[in-house]
Structure 1
């Protein structure tokens, strides 16, 4: 992404072990908070440390009365390549303070019980919380927005994409019916969602705009500036009015089945994990980082 202008405040969120780079940066520029995923070496793959750092950053933006809009971005060449399934900092085995639900800690459990508890918290639970942040959130997407990256873009109210951005959910190759935050039939028409899932192919930014998943498509060099302009335009509106409007539209989506639909598909998702664990090399059907990267070429 192009260099960002100086801000009013900036500091990292969720630093890991001593000396490790924090996975999320937080910066306020006037009325806009920028939340930036910062694992560019791994295409901003989301480990648990990043997930909880995002949660902390979103809470911070919600609590700050000076913040009237939020931008979610990814450092480097890509927005996010999805969930971390194999980097050196993958931390799926570690405990974290649970914030999104009352399921018990996944560590010390085994099999489907462990997977269900963890993913209820860090995937479905976190995304549902962030969708309800009572301030407008804009995703600024460049490069890859794949699998778990889609989940982060879809919890945002608006999406601005660069011309080189692409969207994909290749997890059907694992035998799994889409990512945990199953917003596909609401983010795009159902037949388009089926093609998107059945093939696992990349959807270019322009096509995503045509089907209504993306609000604006701009040249890569203009992405940051266009996102900032939109965020500042929205920030001129009354804060409470924006919060109520967001609640109104989210409630309409839920009345159309979004919330209950996700619950039902989450069960299917974990049935697929359990089936893979019994019949394949692991709960991911033997698919690793290299295989998933190849699937979205």
Structure 2
């Protein structure tokens, strides 16, 4: 064999090896199965079954399987033909009447949407920054030596209706709003495409020269889930009414404001327990004083 032939043969084998190595390492760049098991994709009031199917397919592309549907418009959404390769994922999707029920077990809830015609009061993060926040939370979920099984963090990524996106009330359940940067002339994205873009960014390992913000101190501090925060908010509302700070007619507005405030504060699990004890003591004292009058 001539030197030229040997060189060509070596080049061919080298190229084949590189392709094999690339394929062998491809899936290793994704999150681990345990990490992916702690992320819920939540679709709020989706209108088109094809979009639900496209979202399910995007989830399957990146190995995610926990899909929640809140108050869907169509009854036949489970039969969406656009869920290529993901029919089982659709069949195992959970359906909830309200967003509060869907995210009750979650310690981090991020909404998605554009800032077009919207002035949210929530914290706003770009998708790369939000993805880093999510990855760090999912990594903590696997820290079994530092966390008990009951306190492992869960993340919910929320997508709104195709017609109007997430409402102001929907956003009160979110710790922050993440924005996909799009062209000004067409700021909104198709639901399935938005899910795909977000999950790709979450799954992607940042390059070493990228700035990676840290959202935790490195210690696995337990965080309260949505249900715990809502119990605290309810107790604060009772206290506000007991001291005539507000009437029952303002309870809805107060509830929304408290949900936003508590998520801005990001209190730890221990902080929530202390505040619960504090407000319970105030209520007990107020009721005791009234009974003695």
Larger RCO (alpha carbons 8 Å, 6+ apart): 2
Higher strand share: 1
TM-score strictly above 0.5:
no
The alignment's TM-score, normalised by the length of structure 2, stands at 0.25
Higher helix share: 2
Larger Rg: 2
